[in-house]
Amino acid sequence: MAVKLFILGLPGSGKSTVARSIATYIKSKGWNHIRFSDHVILQDMFLADSEHKQFKPADYGGFDVLDLSVFDIALQRLEQEVKKHILSAKSDELILIEFARNDYQKAFQQFSQDFLKDAYFLYLDTDIEKCKKRIRRRIAHPSTEDDFFVSDYIFSAYYNQDNGRDLPHFLERDYGIGRQRVVFIDNNGSLQGATAQINLFVDIICGLESI
């Protein structure tokens, strides 16, 4: 059965960078992977919102969210996309699911309990000013399709709080998910400093410890 791994954290915390690193690592172990990101869904919703009722254009081809309910809708669509893929997924496949929210307890309420019960969770704990600095740097020197802009407006209007540290508590309380399925990574430094811990977690959840 395919393995689902949620990669969580603020915009600029390094989710996509970590996902690419995991993808390279898992390939070296003979596994497949696929990435899902709610940013793709939100971008499609923005492009469809021609009257700018729910979104507004931002600098560098980006967008800001005006109607915060779209964050919930995007997660509901994300589950649908992942579940559709799982129907044909191979057993040796790691499904990487990326999104950022200011309230993860509310965010996970958008998913069905069946969707979450066998998942794993990787949270990137990163200082908000460090996140903003990384976003400015990636916009100045884009190198991947993940180098999209996130404005100071949405940080102040939405990402002004982050209860990611409470993940183990409410995932266990509300969904019966054991705390061993949730790993925190301090990602304020370089990725190299966190790679060993991340790869060990991937080994464990995919049953690759002895490979």
* Per-residue confidence band for 191, with pLDDT thresholds at 50, 70 and 90: confident
Give residue 87's pLDDT. Answer: 94
- Residues 73-111 have pLDDT tens digits of 999 999 999 999 999 998 899 999 999 999 999 999 999
63-98 as b/e, with b when 16 or more CB fall inside 10 Å?
A: bbbeeeebbebbbebbbeebeeeeeebeebbbbbbb
* DSSP string over 150-171: --HHHHHHTTT---GGGHHHHH
Query: What is the percent of the chain where pLDDT is above 70?
Result: 99
Give residue 54's pLDDT. Answer: 97
Which among 5, 4, 15 is positioned nearest to 125, based on CA atoms? 15
Q: Is residue 211 part of a domain?
A: no
Q: H-helix or E-strand containing 87? A: none
* Per-residue confidence band for 170, with pLDDT thresholds at 50, 70 and 90: very high
Give residue 80's pLDDT. Answer: 98
Q: Distance between CA 9 and CA 123 in Å, rounded?
A: 6
* Per-residue confidence band for 211, with pLDDT thresholds at 50, 70 and 90: very low
Section 27-46 average pLDDT: 96
Which CATH number goes with the domain that contains 202?
A: 3.40.50.300
Q: Is residue 117 part of a domain?
A: yes
Please count the structural domains in the chain.
Answer: 1
Which among 33, 180, 182 is positioned nearest to 104, based on CA atoms? 182
Q: Please answer whether residues 103 and 163 qualify as being in contact, where contact means their C-beta atoms are separated by less than 8 angstroms.
A: yes
Give residue 57's pLDDT. Answer: 96
Select the more confidently predicted residue: 165 or 201: 201
Give residue 151's pLDDT. Answer: 95
Place of tokens 């200011």: 102
* Per-residue confidence band for 153, with pLDDT thresholds at 50, 70 and 90: very high
Domain residues for 64? Answer: 3-206
The pLDDT mean for the chain works out to 94
Give residue 78's pLDDT. Answer: 98
Least confident range from 16-25, 26-35, 188-197: namely 188-197
| Residue 120 pLDDT exceeds 60 | yes
- Quick one: how far is CA 73 from the chain centroid? 16
Which among 68, 12, 7 is positioned nearest to 42, based on CA atoms? 68
pTM of the model: 0.95
Give residue 163's pLDDT. Answer: 80
CB atoms under 10 Å from CB of 196, counted, come to 9
Q: Is residue 197 part of a domain?
A: yes
* DSSP string over 171-192: HHHHH---GGGEEEEE-SS-TH
